[in-house]
Structure 1
Amino acid sequence: MGQKVNPISNRLGIIRGWDSNWFGGKNYGDKILEDTKIRKYLNARLAKASISRIVIERTLKLITITVHTARPGIIIGKGGQEVDKLKEELKKITDKEVQINIFEVKRPELDAIIVANNIARQLEGRIAFRRAVKMAIASTMRMGAEGIKIQISGRLNGAEMARAEMYKEGRTPLHTFRANIDYAQAEALTKTGLLGIKVWICKGEIYGKPDLSPNFATQDKPQRKGGNFKKRRK
């Protein structure tokens, strides 16, 4: 089961909190749709800000949005001008008062979505996929991750037949619920077609009852454990 299910959803309520925190009645579906619109808008509007996670909390008249980003300066802007402009834009979308909290991702090399998006940008810039993957693995392990696994699928190097290649270093125990596994997937639109990227990063193990609030620092540096660089072709 651990190999098939999304590692984040599999750990919800155990070591990971939800990205939407609110209660809904009859208009439950409308709120989900609105959350989706907010996330799509922010990911498109702040594409250069290396966004990791968007957490949405609601009260009767206020929507609080916590944005986890590796580049908070892009969102805040000079003197807070950009974040004020962003609040007004979101207010037009939701017709409610919006509060934006910025949470800095201090070690983006340990964040799966940032790593996946960086690989995707390199592939779109015609960097060799093996080089991009090896650089990502080296930087992640250097920052103290216990393990990382990356899978790239599609017409690799312009091959006629699509295939998938997986690269791994260290340990990524997907069946261990206390293991702090971050997971993300991204797509790269290249000249020869669409390439899919999946990234699993193990940051260590969490014991006891962790704080599941949106500002919970999930990037505490774990102890590094050795592992040989391995390649497996599917």
Structure 2
Amino acid sequence: MRKRSRRFSNIKEQVEKNKLYDPLDAIKLLQSLSSINFVETLELHAVLGLDPKYADQQLRSTIILPKGLGKQVRLAVIAKGEKLSEAFASGADIAGSEDLIDDIFNGFLDFDRLIATPDMMLSIAKLGKSLGPRGLMPSPKSGTVTYQIADAIQDFKSGKLEYKVDRNGILHVAIGKLDFSSEDLNINLKVLQESVDKNRPSGSKGKYWKSLYLSSTMGPSIPIDFSILKDANLV
């Protein structure tokens, strides 16, 4: 049986059992309970009525959170010619062509997101085994395969993220840092909820949002009253 620390157990006792929380109240509670020496991340965990083994029940999309993520994103770009120069001029942390592909193939992975132009994808294919398991392989669906290099860099630096359900139909998304204002975190949460609803797969039947929890990196999970979130008019 997994043992909880005394700190965690004391925190858990402050979450009322069998209560569905107002999202804003849950955020404020998690902020008040944070007592560790780094800024925790606020995370959403939702069980959706999806079975991703069916093509028409897969959820995958991108979103730019209006209040950002509170995280410095290290971007790498693989391009050539003018697009490589554009990457450097637009604020890419790392950029290259075949040289960067070789570095990654040999184990270099010091970046959070990899953007590539379509004409480089054939050369990048050999990186699938190292990039795929880490979720770093460029993809048109995530906006990381594009000729619009400057726009892509700006979007990801501004807090753009990709979300998708896991194989069990569960969605896990970080939506900001606990040192944000509670109102800003609530706005990020609302925008994410609207995006998930907007991108509901065509094969989804019955109840879509089965359960919704908010948690912090080292804190408890707090069940959320989805009806309050859905009816909120924040943005």
Shorter-chain TM-score category?
A: under 0.3
Q: Which has the higher contact order (CA 8 A, sep 6+)?
A: 2
TM-score normalised by structure 1 residue count: 0.23
More strand as a share of residues: 1
